[in-house]
Amino acid sequence: MLRKRIIPSLLLERGRLVKTERFRKPKYVGDPINAVKIFNEKEVDELFLLDIGASREGKKPDFKLLEQIATEAFMPVCYGGGVRSPDDVQTLLKLGIEKVAINTAALRRISFLGELRDRFGAQCVVGVVDVKKRLLGGNAVHSQAGVDVPQKDPVRWAQRLVEAGAGEILLQSVDRDGTLLGLDSDLLRTFDGLLDVPLVAAGGASGVEDMRAAFRACRLSGIAVGARFVYQGPHRAVLISYLSAAELASLH
């Protein structure tokens, strides 16, 4: 049986560690280097690091900060945000980043993924699909950067990303982000068995039972978790945490 990946997902904004709710109102929650050190101690297998302001503000990745993070991290890191050229990706890989998540750049020009695949291999290219519920029902691909979306259907857009060169898909629910209300199992069921690459779900993960339900709803490769590993208790005190060994074992 393949290992079910539970991946901490950290958000950056202007070099700070933040957490959002429904992709809005980023709240400062600490220093990213300190968070990485804690996840090292907890022997986390993998880490997602997403700069939420880079593409929206037209900025390049903060290579200096990312070099510090990659040097500190004992686990593979996937980075996304502000990546616009193969040279950006080459720089990230040289710094020690293992995978690069592409969202806005693919919405603007999907052939960009093919360029990355041909130059670096599909295994390091993660296509990101942000999904938001429609007012009249159903789901649609969402662009936080305000870019025109060429394909509104989330499954079809994910399939196009894979065809174009993505070796993995990160599926993010905008409506569940930071809410701790549970992953959107209905959304996940629409993806079950329809992609030929690993699928990672994000948005709303709260506890082990919820994660288990998500794995039942869809043949996921993993779940990316934000708020659950950043906040503690009903008042959302900031405390970096991870699942215990027993909790991880219970998912298999």
Are 219 and 188 in contact by the 8 Å Cβ rule? The answer is no
Q: How far is 130 from 175, CA to CA, in rounded Å?
A: 10
Residues marked as catalytic: 130
Question: In which residue are the tokens 């990303």 written?
Answer: 161
Task: Output the 3-class SS for the chain.
Answer: CCCCEEEEEEEEECCEEEEEECCEEEEEEECHHHHHHHHHHCCCCCEEEEECCCCCCCCCCCHHHHHHHHHHCCCCEEEECCCCCHHHHHHHHHHCCCEEEECHHHHHCCHHHHHHHHHHCHHHEEEEEEEEECCCCCEEECCCCCCCCCCCCHHHHHHHHHHHCCCEEEEEECCCCCCCCCCCHHHHHCCCCCCCCCEEEECCCCCHHHHHHHHHHCCCCEEEECHHHCEECCCCEECCCCCCHHHHHHCC
Q: How many CB atoms lie within 10 A of CB 196?
A: 10
Distance CA 209, CA 239 (A): 21
